[in-house]
Amino acid sequence: MRLAQKSEEAERFFRRTGITFNVYGQDDAEERLIPFDLIPRILSNREWTTLARGVDQRVRAINAFLHDIYNRQEILRAGIVPISVIAQNDAFLPQMIDFTPAGGVYTHIVGTDIVRTGENEFFVLEDNARTPSGVSYMLENRETMLQMFPELFSQIKVQRVSDYPKNLRASLEASAPPNCEGRPFVVVLTPGIHNSAYYEHSFLADQMGVELVEGHDLRIIDGRIKVRTTRGYRTVDVIYRRVDDDFLDPLTFNPQSMLGVPGIMDIYRAGNITIANAPGTGVADDKAIYSYMPEIIEFYTGEKAILKNVETHRCSEPDSLKYVLDNLSDLVVKEVHGSGGYGMLVGPAASKKEIEAFREKLIARPANYIAQPTLSLSTVPIFTEKGLAPRHVDLRPFALVSPKEINITPGGLTRVALTEGSLVVNSSQGGGTKDTWVLES
C-alpha cells in the first residue's frame, strides 16, 4: 500500500515539475510524462568501477577515432575500418576535414548504452556521441527519490549524481577556444519548444546557470558569435548545441533551416567558437561503425576492450546478409543511423507479416542495417499493480570530456521496458526510467 502511495506521489511530483517528452509522428504528440518506477536499480562499487573504466576507455577511443578520420585517416590506411563505411556515411562531414576543435575534444558529452546478461557480463549496445539525451531524467529521478525516501539515503551510502550540472559547465568552459578572455560564456542552443527534448534543454541551462538560446538569438559580429542580452550583444565562447548537424548552419548544410546560425561553421573553423558536441560526431553513433569498436579501441589505446560489443552482422556484407535473411525471426535488426527504438525489428516478438515486410526493406537497402542476436538480458524488479515484477533494463552512463579529463557520473540513466517480456526500453516506445544507485563501498 505504501509503495502504491509513493508511486502516485512520484507521478504528481513529475507532473508538477513538468518532466515531459514529446513523441513525434503521432496525432497525440503533446507532451507526456515519462513513466518512473520507484524501485531503484542498484550497482555495487566494484561493478561500477569496471563499467566506468570501460566507458572511459571507449570515450577516449571514440575521440581519437574522430580526430583521425577527419585528419590523417590512419585507421583507414591500416585497413581496420573500410573506407566505404566512412565515405558512404551521411554523418561524415567533409567540412570537418583538416580541422581540430579546441583541446582536441569532439565528443564533450557521451552517453553509452549498456546491458547486462549475467553476473559481471556487460555489453555495450550503442554509443551516443552526437547529442545524447536523458540526463535530466537521471537528475530528477534522484531528486524524486530523495524527497520520497530521505531515510533510505541516510542509511545507505549512495554516490551523488547532483554534481552533474556543475561538472558539465566546468567541462564546457575548459573546452573554450584559446582566444577566450575571462570566464568562458556558455549557452545552450535549442531548436525550440516543439523539440521532444526541450524540457531537458531548459532544465540543463537553468541548472548550469547559463542562457538558453535559439538560433535567432545569435548573430555574427566582428568574426565572433554574439548573443543578444538586455545590455547589448555579448560574445559567446561555447555553445552546447542540441540542434542536429543538418540544421546548424543554413549556409553550409540545409538551406531551409531556421534553427541554426548562418555562417557559424566559418566562425567555428576559424577557432572562434566551441560547439559541443562537434559537428560530424554522428559518425561514431553509426551502428556499422559500432561493429568495429573493439578494433578501434585496440588501434588507438593499445588495449583490449574492457566492455564487450554485442556480436554484430553487417548486412552490407553478402555472407552476413544471407545469414540475417535466413534467421530474421531470431535476430534484432537495426538501422545504422536509427535511434529511439524506431526502424528496428525484434524478430522473436514480430509477426510473420512484420518479418516479411522487413525482409523486403532489408533486401532493398542492406547497407542500411545491422543485425544482432537477441540477448538474454538480466532483469530488475519494478512496482506494478500486482506487486513487484521483473523487467528488462539498460543503463546509459554519461561521460563529460574536456581537454584535461573525462568525468563519468556514478550511475546514469536506467531505462526500463515496462511491458512484460519487452526488450525495448525507449521512452518513445513505452519505456520508463528508474533511479540508479551506485553504492559507495
pLDDT tens profile 242-301? 999 999 999 999 999 999 999 999 999 999 999 999 999 999 988 889 999 999 999 999
Assess contact for 300 and 284: CB atoms under 8 A. Answer: no
The reported pLDDT for the residue numbered 405 is 97
Residues linked to residue 43 through DSSP beta bridges, in sequence order: 438
**Per-residue confidence band for 422, with pLDDT thresholds at 50, 70 and 90:** confident
**Per-residue confidence band for 27, with pLDDT thresholds at 50, 70 and 90:** very low
Q: What value does the mean pLDDT take over residues 334-362?
A: 84
**Per-residue confidence band for 205, with pLDDT thresholds at 50, 70 and 90:** very high
pLDDT in tens, 305-343: 999 999 999 999 999 999 999 999 999 999 887 665 567
Residue 15 pLDDT exceeds 70: no
Residue 429 pLDDT exceeds 70: no
Alpha-carbon gap, residue 278 to 367, rounded angstroms: 26
Alpha-carbon gap, residue 107 to 237, rounded angstroms: 17
DSSP state of 366: G
Other CB atoms within 10 Å distance of the CB of residue 101: 29
Lowest mean pLDDT among 13-27, 37-51, 162-176: 13-27
pLDDT in tens, 390-413: 898 999 999 999 999 999 999 999
Q: Listing from the earlier edge strand, what are the strands of the sheet with 331-335?
A: 313-314, 369-373, 331-335, 345-346
The percent of residues in the chain predicted with pLDDT above 90, rounded, is 73
Q: What value does the mean pLDDT take over residues 104-117?
A: 96
Q: What does the block give as the cell for 389?
A: 515484477
The reported pLDDT for the residue numbered 24 is 45
The reported pLDDT for the residue numbered 435 is 96
Q: What does the block give as the cell for 115?
A: 546491458
Question: One-letter amino acid identity for 60?
Answer: R
The reported pLDDT for the residue numbered 236 is 98
The reported pLDDT for the residue numbered 344 is 84
Domain parsing of the chain, residue ranges: 2-306+376-438, 311-373
Q: What does the block give as the cell for 288?
A: 556499422
Alpha-carbon gap, residue 203 to 324, rounded angstroms: 42
Q: Give Cα 330 distance to the centre of its chain.
A: 27
The reported pLDDT for the residue numbered 374 is 86
The reported pLDDT for the residue numbered 29 is 47
The reported pLDDT for the residue numbered 404 is 93
Alpha-carbon gap, residue 95 to 264, rounded angstroms: 12
Alpha-carbon gap, residue 243 to 91, rounded angstroms: 14
Tell me the DSSP string of 282-314.
GGGG-HHHHTTHHHHHHHHHSS--SSEEPP-EE
What is the total residue count of the chain? 441
Question: One-letter amino acid identity for 16?
Answer: R
Tell me the DSSP string of 199-249.
HHHHHHHHHHT-EEE-GGGEEEETTEEEEEETTEEEE--EEEE-S-GGGT-
| Burial degree of 210 (CB within 10 A; 0-12, 13-18, 19+) | buried
Whether pTM > 0.75 for this model: the answer is yes
Alpha-carbon gap, residue 392 to 381, rounded angstroms: 9
Q: Which residue has the higher pLDDT, 421 or 51?
A: 51
Q: Which residue has the higher pLDDT, 420 or 320?
A: 320
Assess contact for 337 and 85: CB atoms under 8 A. Answer: no
The reported pLDDT for the residue numbered 343 is 73
Q: If we measure between CA atoms, which residue out of 312, 305, 316, 434 comes closest to residue 379?
A: 434
Place of cell 515486410: 357
Q: Which residue has the higher pLDDT, 187 or 5?
A: 187
Rounded alpha-carbon distances, angstroms, from residue 246 to 129, 261, 335: 16, 12, 19
Q: Give Cα 325 distance to the centre of its chain.
A: 30
Q: Which residue has the higher pLDDT, 20 or 371?
A: 371
Other CB atoms within 10 Å distance of the CB of residue 44: 12
The percent of residues in the chain predicted with pLDDT above 70, rounded, is 91
Q: Which helix (H) or strand (E) holds 319?
A: helix 318-326
Average pLDDT of every residue of the chain = 90
Q: What value does the mean pLDDT take over residues 169-192?
A: 96
CATH architecture for the domain at 311-373: 2-Layer Sandwich (3.30)
The reported pLDDT for the residue numbered 10 is 65
Strands in 119-181 per DSSP E: 121-128
The reported pLDDT for the residue numbered 2 is 67
The reported pLDDT for the residue numbered 320 is 94
